[in-house]
A = this chain, B = another copy of it.
């Protein structure tokens, strides 16, 4: 017990000295819970709670249809998109906020295939997030292309002039390994292909400089590290140079002038043409407000804090969990890791359940993964210590 006391006290002292410690106050986290699952569902912010209440009671309840005309809602998606753009290094107007990640990936892949006609293949990564693989397979089939799945490390060697699109996640949802965003993009461009990235498990935890990376299109999720709420709207980035990129779903909210009810479809400028139907206002309101949790936060400081958290977890795992049969399934080098840490143990499902019953919330990922998101906006070092200590206790 003496050891754990020291480990805890050192962590608490480091938390107290942390220049970003005030950010946790932006979240309405339940008392006593170590919530280490913000990579699955980000927690509620005070800003989102207040904004949704205002939206329901005042904008919808009282303002009614006038809240469209009077501007509370009509550019809400564009304002949320611009906040996301700032977070991922995208110029204003190059991000659309709409629909789910799945639907946006469908749009992005169809648009990408059309940018490179006459090619035969989409290359993707084996073991990527399921919805990405399902959508990629279907777009390929519908466009007469084959899919070649490779391990991430084998990507550069899999590229040739038959490849239309390279599609993969920036951070792997299981291992948290960071893929080389600019490097793989450059390799795709070298063979005349385009690169479509899924930022779901990176943006908000890992610096993303999407414009500088050269990426052609990207999609991402609103409800993980962006804390937009369950099933929050997702986003789509399209490089400004791709003025010809077209959404396969030309909905009225992607029209240059939706409320003119025009005869022919005229796409909006920039990424907004990738909006489809009416903005989902409740979810968009939560996301738009939640993004203020990043206000004034230097992304380099956030990344430094995130690496410190995951490194601490790796070190504690080595010292206390490895001897109990727990495997580290994430990269050992902090620079290669995103915001979560994956562990492996044959009793993973039972252990995740027991941890949650004790107030330490992580994720079970079949078949034997224990996944913990250490969100740099609010996770504390003391929570990491608590996790490892309780897990060690369950295994001892």
Query: CB within 8 Å of B: which residues of A?
Result: 28, 30, 33, 35, 37, 40-41, 43-44, 48-49, 52-53, 56-57, 59-62, 64-68, 73, 99-103, 106, 130-131, 133-135, 137-138, 142, 223, 229-234, 248-253, 255, 258, 260-263, 265, 276-284, 286, 356, 361, 363, 365-366
B361 touches A65 (CB 8 A): yes
Bound-complex Cα distance A262 to B248 (A): 27
Bound-complex Cα distance A308 to B56 (A): 31
Bound-complex Cα distance A56 to B227 (A): 12
A277 touches B134 (CB 8 A): no
Given contacts A66-B361, A230-B67, contact A103 B102 (CB under 8 A): no
Q: How many copies does the complex hold?
A: 2
Given contacts A277-B103, A281-B229, contact A251 B366 (CB under 8 A): no
Which of A65, A223, A361, A365 has the most chain B CB atoms inside 10 A of its CB? A65
Closest residue of chain B to A45, judged by CB?
A: B61
Q: Which residues of B contact A229 (CB under 8 A)?
A: 56, 60, 281-282
A280 touches B277 (CB 8 A): no
Given contacts A100-B280, A231-B282, contact A249 B67 (CB under 8 A): no
A234 touches B277 (CB 8 A): yes
The residue that A249 contacts in the complex, of B48, B102, B282, with Cβ under 8 A, is B102
Bound-complex Cα distance A325 to B329 (A): 75
Top 5 A-B residue pairs of the complex, sorted by shortest distance between their CB atoms = A100-B277, A102-B251, A102-B277, A230-B281, A131-B252
Bound-complex Cα distance A221 to B226 (A): 28
A261 to B: closest C-beta gap in Å: 5
Bound-complex Cα distance A279 to B233 (A): 10
Bound-complex Cα distance A28 to B61 (A): 6
B37 touches A64 (CB 8 A): yes
